[in-house]
Structure 1
Amino acid sequence: METHKAHCLIFPCAAQGHINPMLQFAKRLQHQGTKITLATTKFFFKTLQEVSGSIAVETISDGYDEGANEVPLDTYNAVFQKVGSENLTELILKLKDLGCPVDCIVYDALISWALDVAKSLGLRAAAFFTQSCAVYKIYYHVYAGLLKLPLEESKVEIPGLPPLLASDLPSFFSNYGSYPPIFQMVAYDQMKNIHEADWIFCNTFYKLEEEVIDCTSKILPIKTIGPTIPSMYLDKRLQDDKQYGLSRFMPMTNDCMPWLNERSTSSVVYVSFGSLAELDAEQMEEVAQGLRTSNYYFLWVVRESESNKLPKDFVKETSDRGLFISWCPQLEVLAHKSIGCFITHCGWNSTLEALSLGVPMIGMPQWIDQSTNAKFVVDIWKTGIKAQPDETGIVRRDVIHECISVVMEGEKGQEIRKNADNWKDLARKAFDDGGSSDKNIKDFVSKLIQS
């Protein structure tokens, strides 16, 4: 039987937190001899500040080539499905005419109509979940009617998951009715045809979510292929894989890395709330004053759109201990010896990066899946603590100060650091030769290239 180099079309949602993990998966497939084309929207591609690496990129129209900032999400999704389906089909036919026929579409599970495109063209399709397996188990329970909403109880039990409080669930479930279009996307649209996918991949690793993966596998044929971070921070088998490669933000590497090099081991508090989260001015004030009174060095990523919320003169008054930058090379920062802890929104990519690099976390979840991720960080993986908000939803400065003290000092901080080191080792082992994620990727490629 002859084999051929299969061709995968990678199709993530046009958002930084979705592009990164799917791009890293694409690099792993390419390393195994698979031809890769990544498709994204014309507008998203135009906004990129950094484009590097060996992955070929093609663009399609989503119907809003000049952007869709003021367009309601449900309207955007409807137009994207219609225009995107047509354009994705045209791209696949174009690649075939060029002598590069696509064998499989690896699509972001949120773009569920991509599966319909694949089937209409006789192609195989793999769904890619960019969040944790635990979060997808919750989504599936809602979709299947096993978790009734609005919630009637303050405690929630789902097979394979630890006991959860309502506040530990994704925000559009705990605060039912708060984000109707997103609720529709995650709880119904991405699940309605999932059983028709040829493969289902999840950005996690087996040891990290062993119990929930075993339980979910009885319902869906899910395979773990994470953590999807550049190889040089894990197994180091892809020597040129040191960064993600497609970014909407230009990292201020030359500003932050020399500054970190001057700091001693575990002496810096790193603060970042990701590419989307928006803190209000009151919360920014509380974070600022918590950092001020902690007396530790701190590196705070404040996106340009958020910088006007900083307290007046705070940057100037803390210049001896603090560095403020609009974006940073987060992996390089987290891997630096000077970083003692990470104040994070607990987005899944940031959580996986911190776990993979052995960095203790202080969780300040904002919305979507972040409260669920924080629950696992604190109670299951035990690699951090949660900064508890007050009754108004604000985490106060004294709480932030106390959390920093707990993680950076004392017995509990030492235990958290020990656990973080253990997960760092297990994350690397997932990509060692024969590790769980390494094996799943090789099995996928093997099935793809069978003619």
Structure 2
Amino acid sequence: MTKPSEPTRDSHVAVLAFPFGTHAAPLLTVTRRLASAAPSTVFSFFNTAHSNSSLFSPGDEADRLENIRVYDVPDGVPEGYVFSGRPQEAIELFLGSAPENFRREIAAAETEVGRDVKCLLTDAFFWFAADMATEMNASWVAFWTAGANSLSAHLYTDLIRETIGVKEVDGRMEETLGFISGMEQIRVKDIPEGVVFGNLDSVFSNMLHQMGLALPRATAVYMNSFEELDPTLTVNLMSKFKRYLSIGPLALLFSPSQRETTLHDPHACLAWMEKRSTDSVAYIAFGRVMTPPPGELVAIAQGLESSKVPFIWSLQEKNMVHLPKGFLDRTREQGMVVPWAPQVELLNHEATGVFVSHGGWNSVLESVSAGVPMICRPIFGDHALNARSVEAVWEIGMTIINGVFTKDGFEESLDRVLVQDDGKKMKVNAKKLKELAKEAVSTEGSSFENFKGLLDEVVKV
């Protein structure tokens, strides 16, 4: 609590996090960097208690920056509510009450800090922040947590619907979006569900549509990417927003010492990697939110065992029950299956030859930053769009054969990336992007300059 005698800070920023999936963590990462660069600005971080508990461990208060204050907002679930099991039910409940809850909590924080909020720094999903900022006489700075390709899909939703047609879409899934600059290699079937196919009336689809309409009102839109990754899309998006800032890759912009003081590697993955030859290991991870179905986990295991490729597979313990009987014993020398692995460090290890992933944006950008080719198995959201970019736009990897894991298909994919000439070209292209990423975050790079621009927009009084 701020003491009455304490001098007033220069400015007050309200940070509104989307508490689902992997959205809140990168927003907190950027908030910490901004707070470090602007120590006289108070950053009030608003998130649900459940999400906050996953971001902040009880023992890290001493390491927390003094100018970041953490607040819990209600999750929107009524007392005694029984979930029906519908997809996105928790998100619907949260969004239904979020504008009112955020307004109330911000007002309380303003009283506590003793200064009105002058900037709303929010997840881009919160389209209602445009009106909130206007009411509060504050700026709205929005964080898009995915890539320029998916942002374009949502920004141009109406144009895509008008051009492709939602009723005739089944017959046009292989067509490309050549009518949008920078999306010439993207097919209709690659774009996220809810744009022209799937349930266009769901709360989530409506949220993304409303977001696409509202974002041009933002003072600035920023993302975890770098301009040189998608130069044509960058130019296009710069023309659509008041200010469009690529400030990544965050994995490079923030050194390991800024991410954590000691490397967390409880299963000694990196020590195991030291015994492997360059570009030989397959690192497999599908994030914490979604995992391929049990039958595909079996196919991955069978393909690994048959291929003899060294591997580290990050797989949650609850899913290990699906592995074939005896697989762990038979592959004890070949690889390791662990419930958690230090992903950024593994990708940057010279022994890693391919990253097998769902194609989520954070994973794709971490692979790009490390110069590692990919095998993508899209599951939902922007995964298919990212996988298509990996394969056809940047040519640094491939989508798993036929879109799902089979023993033979996975084995063939591993051989293509790790052994064949095709894979060697992917590696060369991946290394080129890695160098561009490093240049972007250097002191004269585009992302370094864009971060200074973001800081300027956020801490204006």
With the length of structure 1 as denominator, give the TM-score of the two structures.
0.87
SS in 1 for 2:230: helix
Counting only pairs closer than 5 Å after superposition, residues 16-415 of structure 1 correspond to structure 2 as 16-33=21-38, 34-47=41-54, 50=57, 52=60, 54-55=64-65, 56=68, 57-64=70-77, 70=84, 72=86, 76-77=90-91, 79-99=93-113, 101=115, 102-144=117-159, 145-147=161-163, 148-150=165-167, 151=169, 152-153=171-172, 154-157=174-177, 158-160=179-181, 161-173=183-195, 175-177=197-199, 180-186=202-208, 188-230=209-251, 234-235=252-253, 240-243=257-260, 253-389=266-402, 394-415=404-425
Bigger RCO of structures 1 and 2 (CA < 8 A, at least 6 apart): 1
- Deviation (angstroms), 1:293: 1.3
The Cα offsets for residues 314-355 of structure 1, whole Å up to 9 and x where unpaired, read as 222211212111122211211122211101111101000000
Tell me the CA shift for residue 259 of structure 1. 2.0
Distance (Å, rounded) in 2 between the aligned partners of 1:77 and 1:271: 28
Of the structure 1 ranges 340-349 and 423-432, higher mean CA displacement relative to structure 2 is found in: 423-432
Aligned residue-pair number: 437
90-99 vs 349-358, which deviates more?
90-99
Q: Within 1, Cα distance between the matches of 2:256 and 2:376? A: 32
**1:31-72 deviation line (CA, Å, top 9, x unaligned):** 432543322101222345857553533221122399986564
Q: Which runs of 5+ in 2 are unaligned?
A: 1-8
The 3 A distance-change label for structure 1 pair 251 and 143 is farther
The RMSD of aligned alpha carbons is: 3.0
The letter of the residue matching 2:276 is: R
Q: 1:86 offset after TM fit, Å?
A: 3.1
Q: 1:296 to 1:207 in 2, by over 3 A?
A: same
Return closer, same or farther for 1:260/1:283 CA change in 2, 3 Å cut-off.
same
For 1:75 and 1:404, the matched residues in 2 are separated by 38
8 Å CA contact retained: 1:347, 1:369: yes
Structure 1 residues without counterparts, runs of 5 or longer: none
How far apart are the structure 2 equivalents of 1:283 and 1:163? 28
Q: Aligned partners of 1:359 and 1:280: how far apart in 2?
A: 25
Measured against aligned partners, the alpha-carbon deviations of 1:238-283 in whole angstroms (never above 9, x if no partner) come to 67313599xxxx9753432222233232221100111212311221
Give CA deviations for 1:212-256 in whole Å, capped at 9, x if unaligned: 1212222233523332424xxx256x67313599xxxx9753432
Whether contact under 8 Å (1:41, 1:61) holds in the other structure is yes
- The alpha-carbon distance between structure 1 residues 93 and 176, as it changes in their structure 2 partners (threshold 3 A), is closer
Q: Is 2:249–2:369's contact at 8 Å kept on the other side of the alignment?
A: no
Contact in 2 for aligned 1:377/1:383 (Cα 8 Å): yes
State whether residues 45 and 71 of structure 2, in contact with CA within 8 Å, keep that contact through their aligned partners in structure 1: yes
Report if the CA contact (8 A) 1:8-1:105 is conserved. yes
Percent pairwise identity: 24
Deviation at 1:447, TM superposition (A): 4.0
TM superposition shift of 1:143 = 3.5
Structure 2 distance, partners of 1:311, 1:178, is 39
Shift of 1:75: 5.4
